[in-house]
């Protein structure tokens, strides 16, 4: 079994642009919040998506599963919690949860499977050594 690493929480506030006409967060925005937390994971661990792009590499979503638990509202402060598991040399799974820091309600949870691919061939490619070292050494930066 692979070890699951806890990553630093990502905080955000809900603005008008995030909501529908009722003042609730539009459902697709939860995917954006999860994406921001995953990008933050890479950045804080020294992985530049721009540098990967120069090498013709990119991360793609293989699978995403969401459970909407409670609506977030305009002005609410949210925390995106992220845990990550290496499944192979080219695939990670992110276990993510959004919680309201105002009410402690669980808002949304998701499982996101991410693969690294060669942008031209669309074939999986091994993670860069820097990312593999994070998993091998068991040190995820916060």
Residues catalogued as catalytic: 20
pLDDT at 1: 55
User: How many structural domains comprise the chain?
Assistant: 1
Q: What's the average model confidence in pLDDT over 90-114?
A: 97
* 73 belongs to a structural domain: yes
Say what the pLDDT of residue 57 is.
95
pLDDT number for residue 136: 66
Within-domain flag for 84: yes
Task: Determine the distance from the C-alpha atom of residue 127 to the mean position of all C-alpha atoms in its chain, rounded to a whole number.
Answer: 16
Query: Domain for residue 98, yes or no?
Result: yes
Burial class of 15 by CB neighbour count within 10 A (0 to 12, 13 to 18, 19+) = exposed
74 is in which domain, residue-wise? 4-137
- Reported as a single tens digit per residue, the pLDDT across 37-80 is 999 998 888 888 999 999 999 999 999 999 999 999 999 999 99
**What confidence category does residue 119 fall into, taking pLDDT thresholds of 50, 70 and 90?**
very high
CATH number where 73 lies: 3.10.129.10
Decide if 142 is inside a domain: no
Please report whether residue 42 resides in a domain.
yes
């Amino acid at each position: 079994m692979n070890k699951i690493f806890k990553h630093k929480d990502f905080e955000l506030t809900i603005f008008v642009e995030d909501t529908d006409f009722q003042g609730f967060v539009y459902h697709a925005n939860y995917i954006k919040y999860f994406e921001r937390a995953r990008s933050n994971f890479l950045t804080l661990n020294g992985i530049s998506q721009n540098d990967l792009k120069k090498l013709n590499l990119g991360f793609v979503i293989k699978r995403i599963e969401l459970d909407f638990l409670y609506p977030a509202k305009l002005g609410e402060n949210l925390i995106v919690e992220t845990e990550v598991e290496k499944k192979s040399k080219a695939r990670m799974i992110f276990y993510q949860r959004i919680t309201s820091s105002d009410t402690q309600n669980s808002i949304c949870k998701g499982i996101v499977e991410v693969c690294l691919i060669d942008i031209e061939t669309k074939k999986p490619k091994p993670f860069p050594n820097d990312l593999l070292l994070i998993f091998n050494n068991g040190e995820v930066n916060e």
